[in-house]
Amino acid sequence: MNSPTGTWTDESSSHALDLWADGRRVATLGYEPLNDRWSLNYDADWVAAPNAFPLSPALALQRATEGYAAGAVKRFVENLLPEGRALDIAARTYRVSKSNVYALISALGTETTGAFRFWPAGEVPPVVAAKPAREVSREELDRRIAERDELPLAIWDGKLRMSIAGVQDKLMVYLDRPLDDGGRLFLVEPPLASTHILKPDPGRQLTPHLVVNEHFCMSLARRMQLPVAEVSIYRTPRPVLVVRRFDRIVQGGGPSGAEPTVRRLHIIDACQASDLPESYKYERNLGGGEHVRHIREGVSFGMLFDRVEQTVNKAVARMTLVRWALFQFLIGNSDAHGKNFSFFVRREGLDPAPWYDLVSVVQYPGIDHELAMAWGDAFSLNEVGAFQVAEFAQRCGIDRKLLQREASRLEKLIVRHAPAQAQADDYVDDGERAFAGKLRDFVMGQATRLARLTSEAAKIKPEFL
């Protein structure tokens, strides 16, 4: 049976979950396991609400009778799941296959990225916490980080807490006030949502000072007044990066004495905005092997800039993407892929979200530095020349003179702010300060190089491209 918003109704599914946002049911997700068929049916009341928004552009509130593109619902959902070791832990904990997307979102879907909670069909999420929030002390967090090889950081009190996309160890927490003001960390259970993400230093020789690395890059972007998530370093005494979630807003509390609540805002990453699975987050979605390296079906700079047509303010979105691409070059983030850029979802369209996961990956020689997205046809930073920059501009629809002006502006900001960031009080010992100094020298060199390349690229005749 066809439905207005899907290819089949819940009546033909074996399993179902309801999606909730802002205390109201939004839609029902249906799943038929043997045929791996998925459906999505929005509630009529949600569709009629003036402030309603879709899950993604591919899953619009109103659809033609033929329904959504095949696989679109599953692709959206699987992009919400963790990756790598975190996915292994989730699958092992719940005794399901890593490919069992429905089972995993059923288990992990109460605290995903974005606005929606996945809840058993026919049940209503609680509006009052069943028990006091579980506090995590500095000492307990330090102990858990130390033993995470034996007991994964995602598991607390016998329960798996990780449900946010990504590869790195993360823990989502509620922070009752700023840490420098005596703030306390709490694990979250519905109805409470997390406000911050903790990212402990991996403590691996392969990636030394990763917390300092990301803090430096994120803080440098903030000094340059670029749109970026707020970060700080919390020490247990091990360094932990604390990232303030920009898809959460704390309401209430303060002088009024009202119990604070956390409002969830809806965001999607570029894979979801492009209706692609997580495996397409790299432009070379089949890898860099000799026989498949020519296949480039994943998220590229060109595909990312195509998303501008889905945005509310196209001029602002385009310039935001230009600056994001240039900043990745400046810091040497070869791993800037399709899940590392997100958009807020409005009824009218998309808006770029603040930046996150800014890391100078090239500082680590033991890690592959192939670019997640090519500049022209160059998949290595060292191979990027003026011609590749000109190709990048052409494929993304960017005026090369504008690119030159923006690179020159960013160079001035780097020269002004990188030395100050390297001397920040956040870096507490000689090793951290030396690493920050190394980052300073690298980004300043990249800024000079980028200004030169964009100037040369602006002079290349169009017929040569």
Instruction: Tell me how far apart the alpha carbons of residues 441 and 142 are, in angstroms, rounded to a whole number.
Output: 32
Residues 6+ apart with CB under 8 A from 396: 301, 302, 304, 305, 321, 322, 325
Instruction: Tell me how far apart the alpha carbons of residues 389 and 450 are, in angstroms, rounded to a whole number.
Output: 9
Are 235 and 227 spatial neighbours (Cβ–Cβ below 8 Å)?
no
Are 247 and 265 spatial neighbours (Cβ–Cβ below 8 Å)?
yes
Distance between start and end Cα atoms, the chain: 51
H/E stretch holding 233 reads strand 231-235
User: Is 176 annotated in the active site?
Assistant: no
- The SS3 assignment for 285 reads coil
Return the structure tokens found at 20: 């909730």
Instruction: Tell me how far apart the alpha carbons of residues 154 and 203 are, in angstroms, rounded to a whole number.
Output: 17
H/E stretch holding 416 reads helix 400-422
Residues 6+ apart with CB under 8 A from 376: 384, 387, 388, 389, 390, 391, 392, 395
Considering the candidates 10, 335, 357, 426, report the single residue annotated as catalytic.
335
Instruction: Tell me how far apart the alpha carbons of residues 231 and 215 are, in angstroms, rounded to a whole number.
Output: 7
**Residue tagged 């009024």 (tokens):** 256
Q: Which of the residues are catalytic?
A: 335
